[in-house]
């Protein structure tokens, strides 16, 4: 009996076929279409974006850069690297730019993981660590969290000679948990020097100054450390896709070799330079976020809804049948993020919005959880 020849998709590596598709926050237009709602009456608190919109200085820089759209962007991003170098006190050779910091995480796995290598990360850590690891045919070692937070001692114990990368998210998404700098620093110091630590600080700018670690200064002592940050969150530029990693030049050189030459577009580069120059915007975003967080926390307390204390611009709340509560919120035009894909089927993640959006979410939640 002749066997049917395999189809092309069946020839894909089994580790690619095993990847669970990424589930993002639902776009406003999609919810409007599906539920027959007016998009103008829908609020989205589902993707940890900055609710303020970009700063006017950034919009002006984008308008200027729009005059040069027929040219490829500067693949070496001279101006943006110069601005980051000055701001962070690092050399341009230490910087790897990404199409979002997601790209930087991907590039680290592309440059440093072989099939069969191990990458260590925490249970409930940002899901891209799993996806990027799996895409290389490497093995993700998920270490049980403690009170929803990274358990650094257990993560240290999970490192073996097969480990090539350890991911730490600080603060972590979706839990919002945060580790004090001294503990992170001792963890990095305890790693074998041939194991790379990727310290993902996507929400760093939302931390109070006293909570922000000296991670950039640590780079002088740890040639195996990669610090990644983004313009998507406190800088309010999620749609443009620009982030960066700072590291030893030897690591940056390898990541730049596997990077697409023009991975950060010209508008994003110009916007990021202008955003770096607008410290007030970030300071105001931080202030608005902590006020909004207090508003959400007191509203949740009043509703007796359990939540994990968060250091980001979002909060993880325990609502029981989260799929059902999510549907009831959607019907009221409020988009939040279910996190069943994180193995948290009783929880929803809510991004801090503008004061009126937070109030609307709390009112919708009250309805959704009432019997
Ligand atoms: C912990 C963490 N790291 C990285 C990212 C990636 O963000 P971006 O690619 O927009 O920089 C996110 C986005 O939600 C995140 O939560």
Q: Which structure tokens are listed for 233?
A: 């969150």
Spell out the residues 6+ positions from residue 204 whose beta carbon is closer than 8 angstroms to its own: 170, 212, 229
Distances (CA, A) of 57 to 60, 66, 78: 5, 14, 20
Q: How far is CA 320 from the centre of its chain?
A: 25
- Ligand 1 binding pocket includes 50 (Cβ within 6 Å): no
| Interval between CA 101 and ligand 1 midpoint (Å) | 6
Give the pLDDT confidence of 27-38 residue by residue, as tens digits: 999 999 999 999
Rounded distance between C-alpha atoms, residue 126 and residue 150, angstroms: 11
Asked if residues 145 and 176 have their Cβ atoms less than 8 Å apart, the reply is: no
- Ligand 1 binding pocket includes 256 (Cβ within 6 Å): no
Q: Kindly report the length of the chain.
A: 371
34 strand-pairing partners: none
What pTM did the predictor assign? 0.96
- Ligand 1 binding pocket includes 245 (Cβ within 6 Å): no
- Ligand 1 binding pocket includes 99 (Cβ within 6 Å): no
Q: Is 25 left (phi over 0), alpha (psi -120 to 50) or beta?
A: beta
Q: What is the pLDDT along the chain (371 residues), one digit of tens a residue?
A: 678 899 999 999 999 999 988 888 889 999 999 999 999 999 999 999 999 988 999 999 999 999 999 999 999 999 999 999 999 999 999 999 999 999 999 999 999 999 999 999 999 999 999 999 999 999 999 999 999 999 999 999 999 999 999 999 999 999 999 999 999 999 999 999 999 999 999 999 999 999 999 999 999 999 999 999 999 999 999 999 999 999 999 999 999 999 999 999 999 999 999 999 999 999 999 999 999 999 999 999 999 999 999 999 999 999 999 999 999 999 999 999 999 999 999 999 999 999 999 999 999 999 999 96
Q: How far is CA 1 from the centre of its chain?
A: 52
Spell out the residues 6+ positions from residue 268 whose beta carbon is closer than 8 angstroms to its own: 231, 237, 240, 241, 242
């Amino acid at each position: 009996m002749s066997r049917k020849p395999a189809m092309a998709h069946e020839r894909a590596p089994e580790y690619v076929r095993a990847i669970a598709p990424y589930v993002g926050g639902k776009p406003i237009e999609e919810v409007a279409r599906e539920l027959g709602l007016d998009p103008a009456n829908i609020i989205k608190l589902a993707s940890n974006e900055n609710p303020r919109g970009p700063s006017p200085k950034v919009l002006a820089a984008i308008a200027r850069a729009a005059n040069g759209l027929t040219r490829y962007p500067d693949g070496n991003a001279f101006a943006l690297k110069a601005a980051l170098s000055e701001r962070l006190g690092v050399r341009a050779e230490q910087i790897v730019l990404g199409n979002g910091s997601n790209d930087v995480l991907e590039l680290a796995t592309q440059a440093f993981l072989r099939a069969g290598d191990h990458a260590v990360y925490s249970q409930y850590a940002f899901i891209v660590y799993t996806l990027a690891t799996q895409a290389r045919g490497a093995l993700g070692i998920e270490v049980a969290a403690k009170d929803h937070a990274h358990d650094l001692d257990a993560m240290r114990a999970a490192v073996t000679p097969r480990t090539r990368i350890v991911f730490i998210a600080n603060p972590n998404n979706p839990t919002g948990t945060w580790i004090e700098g001294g503990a992170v620093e001792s963890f990095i110091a305890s790693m074998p020097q041939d194991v790379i630590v990727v310290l993902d600080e996507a929400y760093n700018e939302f931390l109070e100054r006293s909570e922000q670690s000296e991670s950039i200064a640590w780079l002088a002592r740890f040639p195996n450390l990669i610090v990644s940050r983004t313009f998507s969150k406190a800088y309010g530029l999620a749609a443009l896709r620009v982030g960066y990693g700072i590291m030893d030049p030897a690591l940056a050189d390898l990541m730049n070799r596997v990077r697409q030459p023009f991975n950060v577009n010209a508008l994003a580069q110009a916007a990021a330079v202008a955003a770096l120059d607008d410290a007030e915007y970030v300071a105001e975003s931080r202030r608005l976020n902590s006020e909004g967080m207090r508003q959400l926390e007191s509203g949740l307390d009043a509703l007796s809804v359990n939540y994990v204390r968060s250091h980001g611009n979002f909060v993880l709340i325990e609502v029981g049948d989260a799929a059902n509560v999510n549907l009831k919120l959607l019907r009221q035009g409020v988009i939040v993020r279910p996190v069943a894909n994180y193995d948290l089927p009783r929880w929803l993640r809510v991004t801090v919005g503008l004061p009126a959006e937070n109030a609307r979410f709390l009112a919708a939640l009250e309805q959704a959880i009432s019997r």
